[in-house]
Amino acid sequence: MYVLGFPMGIMAPERQYVIARSGIIARIRDTLEKRGHDFLIDAMVFPGNSGSPVISKPEIISIQGTPSLPKPCLIGIVVSYLTYKDTALSQQTGQPRVIFEENSGLA
């Protein structure tokens, strides 16, 4: 799958080309079991990707008994990305000193 967008406002006035990033569907069980509409993708998205389309990757080959996807199609919209926190502890006291929040690569 691909995410299309303008992350962090990256574009030049004379060349307004979309940035395409590839990824995979990491979790879709809730959607398939009709317990929700959200699914998780493993693709680096950044501020500015909110609202970006998530497009299926065309595939000619498929698993036996399933249809192939010869054309790309819209499968979702980026809502947000998940962060993870890394805490730096003081060697003297063992207490948290700084908490770093990083992009996990999951959206």
* Both tokens assigned to 89: 């502890």
Domain range list for the chain: 2-103
- For 23-104, list the strands marked E by DSSP: 24-27, 40-42, 53-55, 74-77, 83-89, 96-103
Q: How confident is the model at residue 42 (pLDDT cuts 50, 70, 90)?
A: very high
Query: Residues 53-102: pLDDT tens digits?
Result: 999 998 888 788 888 888 999 999 998 888 889 999 999 999 999 999 88
Q: Give 47-63 pLDDT, tens digit per residue.
A: 888 899 999 998 888 78
Contacts of 92 (CB under 8 A, 6+ apart): none
